[in-house]
Structure 1
Amino acid sequence: MEQLKVELPDNVSDAITTAVFDSFRKAREASQSDNYPIYLTKKQACEYLNISNRTLNDWIEKENIPFKHIGKTYRFNRNELDKFMATK
């Protein structure tokens, strides 16, 4: 069987590629966010950000990362963490 090869204009090919990558990115972000509550514990924040507890403690000490300290516990807003990581 003979294969038919179709050449698309560069702008169409680029638009398709961009749309596919955007779809994959959005799906990945949605699936990752669904696994975590909006307010995270230190352990959950480390898992979510894929960092060590030591790194998180360093960021807390330097007050680089957004967090709330309530009594003896720390809470991290998942949306604020996403914004913070976008600036890293």
Structure 2
Amino acid sequence: MQVILPDEQINQIQHLISELIKKEIEIRLNNNNLNSPFLNKQQACQYLGISNNTLDSWIKQGLPTIKIGKTIRFNKEAINSWLYSQN
């Protein structure tokens, strides 16, 4: 089955998709500042590609953290060193 749309509708759909992609990229860049050497828990999970539960388990196993009051941060270099030491 083939659907044929007028050029105006095709342009509107392309514009809508383009805007959605731009918004998603902005959201990702603003919320996932993975360029920083220090990460919060959500960023650490994304950096490592793991769930929050797995991150908590790794912390109990010795993953280095930086605790400031109730806030936990992770140093990327320390994460990488710890991962390499787990072999």
Deviation sequence 1:24-56 (CA, Å, 0-9, x none): xxxxxxxxxxx4310000011111111110011
TM-score, length-normalised on structure 1? 0.55
| 1:79 paired residue number | 77
Look up the equivalent residue of 1:37 and give its one-letter code: S
Mark the runs of 5 or more structure 1 residues left unpaired by the alignment.
Answer: 1-34
- Aligned residues: percent identity? 43
Q: What is the CA–CA distance in structure 1 between the aligned matches of 2:51 and 2:69, rounded to whole Å?
A: 23
**Runs of 4 or more above 6 Å deviation:** none
User: Structure 2 length normalisation: TM-score?
Assistant: 0.55
Q: Which amino acid aligns with 1:38?
A: P
Q: Cα RMSD over matched residues?
A: 1.8
